[in-house]
Structure 1
């Protein structure tokens, strides 16, 4: 009886948390479907009386500010995709080296890497900006995604998995004539596919959703902005008085992340609970 009650309480708690997350998203969508007049009515009904897609059309056109929304979407997708590929490549190589190769001062390096995870990201903002400015990268696409490659979360995630990989399988591959690179590409990477998918989605979402860093490293070039940074620009001028248009733009910015998550949902769950080799 007690087990059933505990299970019921957990279901109710999970439902309440789910509602807390889903209601703001539904509200955002409903506001985006309202006309200018209905959006400012004192009686804010949850369901639009006369749903319209005009807000999305105007948002994609740039509205009164005539901003390059399509270019911002393209920038976000390119920057997030390139950054994700670089992070996966660098983190996988670093994790494999630390876990399976004879790296000098390995324990000290791991401790140093993990200590950087305790430092809030905002602390790195000014020094990182000065560094990129000195390198002449401000106003280039490289400044958007290169900082993500310095993260150690993915290294630690893959390191834990690679460390637990059975040595017997690796030794058998060496006996068959395989070298370290072949073992890494043909054995370790396929075995860690679920974790790589999880890291890819987390990285893609992190780069895509970031707006503070892209806003400043764009060098004042409006065409260089990403979509999330561009939304901050759209809040100026006449758009600040049109919440329905801002919500439409927010829905457009949410769709790529939602699609990526839904497509990789099974792999993400599998990667989180994965703890060994089957």
Structure 2
């Protein structure tokens, strides 16, 4: 599951409501964004107890990301946040796990990256995505990247850009030659994930269901499916399901959840990092 908690959830009473939503889903793996208060060890410990999960929080220049997991399902091998502060606006949290209970252990760790790409420029966000692609493949290439990607996915339909705030159009749209030209979304972030051989989980599940209807937006105000998950080729056969999680009044983003059957991972597609 992934959820952008929306800045200030700890101070305006929304975090407790989000905890109820998350517990209702019951994820084994949880990707969180905009959880800066969890950088405080006492707050992180309280969140661990409330979730019944272990927790890693990445350092950040702005708003922290985090990953939580059920220790009975995933054994933590290490956490990487090497470039979270120096190279990214919000950062990323990249723990790697040994999944437990499989009939055969995976040959490489499962890397699960929670991230929040910059909202201010699709081109800069694409550079951040390039970095994350490299970190996802760093330990053999059994990996997922999820969170607030902030920009248009490749196959999504154009929203009514007239309803979008001007500052969001400046960051999420292609440049126009004159004011009367139509707005078009900048899909460079989606192209970056495609070039890294990542698969958009929501789009993949829609294709499996033969569902041609537009994928639902996750940003309640911005009209885009900004919250996304992308997986490396090893995990594509493992994708089983995807759904939107409604946090009600507790966040300005819908969350999402998806299931992976790691027994079906194509481990022949792992690769050395050189």
Q: TM-score range by the shorter chain?
A: under 0.3
Higher helix residue share: 1
Computing the radius of gyration from Cα coordinates, the structure with the larger value is 1
Does 1 or 2 have the higher relative contact order (CA < 8 Å, sep 6+)?
A: 1
Higher strand residue share: 2
State the TM-score, normalizing by the size of structure 1: 0.24
State the TM-score, normalizing by the size of structure 2: 0.24
